Amino acid sequence: MDAIQDFNTLGSIRTTKYGETFEGFKKGEDDEEPLSPMAQLLHEPGSNMYIICFIGLKTKIRPDVIKENLVNAVVKNRRFSSLQVRDKANGSMKWIPTHVNIDDHVIIAELDPNIKSPDKFVENYILNLSRSGIESTKPLWDFHLIDVKTSEAEGTCIFRCHHSIGDGMSLTNLLMSCTRKVSDPDSVPTIPGMDRLGAAKVANLWSRLGVFWNTFVALLMFALTGLFLEDTKSPIKGSKGVEGRPRRFVTRSVSLEDIKFVKRAMNVTFTDVVLGVTQAAMYRYIRERYNDKNMDSPHNMRIRATIPFNLRTTMKIDDFTHKDNGTWGNKIGYLLLPFDIRFKKDPLDYVRHANSTMKRKKASLEPLFTYYFTKLVLMLFGTKVTGELTHKVVHKTTLIFSNIPGPQDEITLFGHKVAYLAPSCYGQPYALMINVVSYMDKVMFVMSVDEETIPDPQKLCDAFEESLRNIKASA
C-alpha cells in the first residue's frame, strides 16, 4: 500500500488579492490574519487531517448549476477564499485572501465508458483521493462530481477540505445552509438538537461532587494513556504510521425506526443505541478474525474509542453567516470511551453498558478540560510539542467514533435531490473511524478504514447490520 507522501506542503506563496470587499475582510486594510493555534495544530504530523463528505444525488448532476451556487454560497466565506501560508522566518501561518477560480476547485471525474461496477468505481475514486491532499497554491478545499449511476444514487458529489478550515459541526452547518427542504424550497432543513449542543448542561446532570469525581477519573485516564496505558493489540488497532496510509470508505444503511424502537423500549438515547450496536459489531468482527486464524480471542480486551464532543452551546442553520463570528473554528473536546468487547448472552447488555458509560461521561467536564488543556499546552510549548503529545495519546486508543445528527426532511443540494449523506475523515492516527449520520428514515454507518489493518470492511458492515438485528429482536 502506497503511503501518503505529504498532505499539504506549505511554503511562501505570492498571492493575488481580491480588488473588492468580501465577507470577513474590509477593503483597504491588511487582509492577512494568523491561523489560530488549533488550526495550526491540525497541520502537524499525526493531526494533519482532511474532512471528506460524499453526497448521493437522486438526479443527474448539473455542473454549471453547482459551480454557480458554490461561488455564491461558499467562496464568499473567507476560509474558502484564502490561502494558508507559512512564514519561513518563524513558522507561523496566516490566512491570505486570494482570487478563487471555481474551475480549480470543482473537478469533474473522467469516466470509463466500460465501467463494470459503478459502486466500486466511486469507492476507488474516494480511496485515491485519500492518497494525497490539496495543493497549497489554492484554498484547501475541492468539490468532485462523479456523474455515474450507482445502486444508491444517480450521481455522487464529494466535498473535501482540510480540517484546519473548521470542525465537523461548522462544516455540517455550511453544507446545510446550501440545502433546502423538498417540501418547502424556501426553508433550510431541520436538524434535531442543533439548538442545544455542547457541554452547557453537563454540570447539571449530577451533583457537583459527582461531576468533580468523574472529571478527575477521566483526566487521570488521559494522563496514564499519555504515559503508558495502551489498548490491546487487536485486528482493528492500527500500526505505526497508519495516519499516512490511504483509506477505504464503506457505508451501511439501517432503518432509523429500528434504532428508535430500541431507544423507546430501553428508555435510552439514540447515541446509546448506536454505541451498543457498535460494541456488539466490534465483538462479532474481532471474534471472526481470530476464528479465521484458528486462534482464541483474548478476554478482557482494552479497546477505547476517542469521541469528539462539540463545545458550542447552540448552532442554528438559519443563523449561519459567512462571517467568522464564532460559527467557525475547531471548538471540540474529546472523551475516551471504553468499549466492552465481550460475549453477551443478552445483546441488550451492549446498549446498557453504553448507556451507563455515557451517563458518567456526560456528567463530567472531560471535553472542556481536554480542549482547554490543549490550548494551554499550545500557548506554553507550541504546535510541534502539542502535536507530538496529542498523537501519543490518541494513537494508544483503537478507534474514533462520531455521531452526527442529520436532517429529518428530504433535502436538495443546489436543486439536486439528496439520496444520502456520508461524512468521514482521513489522515487520523487510527485504523478505524466510524461516523454515524441520520437522514430522513435511515441511519448510515460510515467507516474509514486502513486496509492493511482491516482488509475486509464489508464484513465489518455485515457485523453492524446483524448486531442491530439481534438487539432489536431482544428488545
- The enclosing H or E element of 184 equals none
**How far is Cα 175 from Cα 169, in angstroms, rounded to an integer?**
10
Model confidence at 230, pLDDT cuts 50, 70, 90, reads very high
Read off the pLDDT of each residue in 365-381 and give the average, rounded to a whole number: 90
- Res. 320: pLDDT tops 70: no
Residue 198, pLDDT score: 52
Gap between the terminal Cα atoms of the chain: 43
- Which three three-digit cell numbers place residue 264? 423507546
Would you say 408 and 189 are in contact if contact means Cβ atoms under 8 Å apart?
yes
- Which three three-digit cell numbers place residue 375? 490550548
- Res. 409: pLDDT tops 50: yes
Tens of pLDDT along 29-69? 345 788 888 888 889 888 899 999 999 999 999 999 999 99
**How far is Cα 140 from Cα 426, in angstroms, rounded to an integer?**
14
Rounded to 5 degrees, what angle do the CA atoms 241, 243, 249 make? Answer: 130
Q: Which residue would you say has higher pLDDT here, 18 or 218? A: 218
For the chain, domain boundaries: 202-407+430-474
Would you say 104 and 138 are in contact if contact means Cβ atoms under 8 Å apart?
yes
- Which three three-digit cell numbers place residue 270? 439514540
Return mean pLDDT, the chain. Answer: 85
Residue 151, pLDDT score: 92
Tens of pLDDT along 191-221? 776 655 554 444 444 467 888 888 999 999 9
What is the residue-wise DSSP string for 109-174?
PP--TT-S-HHHHHHHHHHHHTTS---TTS-SEEEEEE----SS-SEEEEEEEEGGGB-HHHHHHH
Residue 418, pLDDT score: 96
Would you say 57 and 157 are in contact if contact means Cβ atoms under 8 Å apart?
yes
Determine phi and psi for 31, rounding to 5 degrees: -80, -5
Q: Which of 96, 70, 78 is nearest to 24 (CA)?
A: 78
**How far is Cα 263 from Cα 275, in angstroms, rounded to an integer?**
12
Tens of pLDDT along 129-152? 999 999 999 999 999 999 999 999
**How far is Cα 284 from Cα 276, in angstroms, rounded to an integer?**
12
Catalytically annotated residue among 162, 163, 322, 395: 163
**Residue in the structure block whose three cell numbers are 491570505:** 96
Model confidence at 357, pLDDT cuts 50, 70, 90, reads very high
Residue 6, pLDDT score: 36
- Res. 15: pLDDT tops 50: no
Name, in order, each residue with C-beta under 8 angstroms of 243's C-beta and a sequence gap of 6 or more: 45, 46, 48, 427, 428, 429, 430
Report the amino acid identity of residue 445: F
Q: Which residue would you say has higher pLDDT here, 292 or 274? A: 274
Tens of pLDDT along 152-179? 999 999 999 999 998 888 888 888 888 9
Would you say 357 and 363 are in contact if contact means Cβ atoms under 8 Å apart?
no
Model confidence at 7, pLDDT cuts 50, 70, 90, reads very low
Q: Which residue would you say has higher pLDDT here, 188 or 12? A: 188
Would you say 105 and 70 are in contact if contact means Cβ atoms under 8 Å apart?
yes
Model confidence at 74, pLDDT cuts 50, 70, 90, reads confident
Name, in order, each residue with C-beta under 8 angstroms of 370's C-beta and a sequence gap of 6 or more: 222, 333, 334, 335
Residue 11, pLDDT score: 36
- Kindly give the pairing relationship between strand 303-310 and strand 399-404: parallel
Burial code (b: 16+ CB inside 10 Å, e: under 16) for 198-218 equals bbeebbeebeeeebeebbeeb
Residue 195, pLDDT score: 56
- Tell me how far CA of residue 245 lies from CA of 7, 99, 253, 401, in angstroms: 11, 32, 26, 19
Read off the pLDDT of each residue in 392-420 and give the average, rounded to a whole number: 92
- Res. 262: pLDDT tops 60: yes
163 part of the active site: yes
199-203, 369-373, 437-441: the lowest-pLDDT one: 199-203
Residue 31, pLDDT score: 58
- Which three three-digit cell numbers place residue 25? 475582510
- Which three three-digit cell numbers place residue 187? 426553508
Rounded to 5 degrees, what angle do the CA atoms 395, 396, 401 make? Answer: 70
> 202-407+430-474 belongs to which CATH class?
alpha beta
- pTM for the whole thing? 0.88
Rg (alpha carbons) of the chain, rounded to whole number: 22
- Res. 107: pLDDT tops 70: yes
Report the amino acid identity of residue 26: K
Burial class (CB in 10 A: 0-12, 13-18, 19+), 292: exposed
Q: Which residue would you say has higher pLDDT here, 11 or 326? A: 326
User: In this structure, how many other beta carbons lie within 10 angstroms of the beta carbon of residue 221?
Assistant: 15
- The enclosing H or E element of 384 equals helix 366-394
**How far is Cα 340 from Cα 283, in angstroms, rounded to an integer?**
8
Would you say 263 and 453 are in contact if contact means Cβ atoms under 8 Å apart?
no
103-107, 109-113, 349-353: the lowest-pLDDT one: 109-113
